[in-house]
Amino acid sequence: MAAVETTRPAPLGAVTTYRTINALSNAVAAFQAWNDARVTRNALSKLSDRELDDIGLCRGDVDVIGR
């Protein structure tokens, strides 16, 4: 019976490429989360106090929710 080695080192630069793509992916995800929070804060800040009260919020909650 022959033994076959199934583990071999990654090609040169594969790990660096993976880490670069992973870092870019994380940066894009962080930007999207920041932008979603910004859009939410802007939308909530445009509501009147009465409208905020209707959905159970006050003016001070806008910054907390936007995070």
**DSSP category for residue 9:** P
Is the pLDDT at 2 greater than 80? The verdict is no
Q: Cβ atoms within 10 A of the Cβ of 40, count? A: 14
Indicate yes or no: pTM above 0.85: no
The predicted pLDDT at position 50 comes to: 95
